[in-house]
Structure 1
Amino acid sequence: MLYIHRNNCVFDGNDQDLIDLAIKNAKNINCGHSFIIFMKNAFPINVLNAVKSCSEVCRIYCATANPLDVVVAVNSNGNRGIMGVIDGAPTVGVETEKDQENRKKFLQTIGYKR
């Protein structure tokens, strides 16, 4: 996990590649009072409730394995803030019954649904 305080990055982790990736992305975003979590061999949905239960967490913009873009605003004083994220691709159609079955099986496989 990498937390960006007002002036400094504070980080912790157990995988140097993920730490480096978090630091690189945090520097690119360059917004204080935010944090980034990168995980390997895990699904974001499985840790989302634990992250939400942390009293310091005010908002979660996304929990995804998809590539995403972070939308940043800069005010006239040069202060920066995260406005949101763009996650995923445009819709390609409507889910079929087979698609629903596959989605439900996948969610069961990762332990999200029974």
Structure 2
Amino acid sequence: EASGPALVRYSGTDQKLIDLAVGNAEEIRAGHVFIIFLDGTFPINVLNRIKQVPEVCSIYCATANAVQVVIAETEKGRGILGVVDGISPQGVETETDIAERKSFLRKIGYKL
């Protein structure tokens, strides 16, 4: 929360995931940010629902990868500029890689 008492607000159904989200929000220390941790599903399965929330302006990432958050700090506070997600490409996918990727996406319910 970036106004009023400027508190980290939270809700959830799994204490471990709540603790992860709160801990990350405390570390980022930027207003108007929300963090969602999921277990047992892939981010792509909920991404469109989150995009439909009127208060959501931007989504920086939806990933199972470890990320780094790029933050700017001014006299007014802190804000997220972006997110570094995953590693740099190691090459170009082969036909086998393409088939495996499409199979995986179908398996998790993402049509391709």
Bucket of the pairwise TM-score, normalised by the shorter protein: over 0.9
Q: How many residues align?
A: 109
Match of 2:109 in 1: 111
Match of 1:92 in 2: 90
Q: Secondary structure at the match of 2:83?
A: strand
Match of 1:23 in 2: 22
C-alpha RMSD of matched pairs (Å):
0.8
Q: Secondary structure at the match of 1:105?
A: helix
Structure 1: which 4+ aligned runs deviate by more than 3 Å? none
Q: TM-score, normalised by structure 2?
A: 0.95
Shift of 1:23: 0.7
Give the gaps of 5 or more residues in structure 2.
Answer: none
Structure showing the higher strand proportion among its residues: 1
Match of 1:44 in 2: 43
In structure 2, distance between residues paired with 1:100 and 1:72: 35
Give the gaps of 5 or more residues in structure 1.
Answer: none
Q: Secondary structure at the match of 2:9?
A: strand
Shift of 1:78: 4.9
In structure 2, distance between residues paired with 1:67 and 1:29: 15
In structure 2, distance between residues paired with 1:67 and 1:40: 15
In structure 1, distance between residues paired with 2:56 and 2:40: 24
In structure 1, distance between residues paired with 2:110 and 2:11: 26
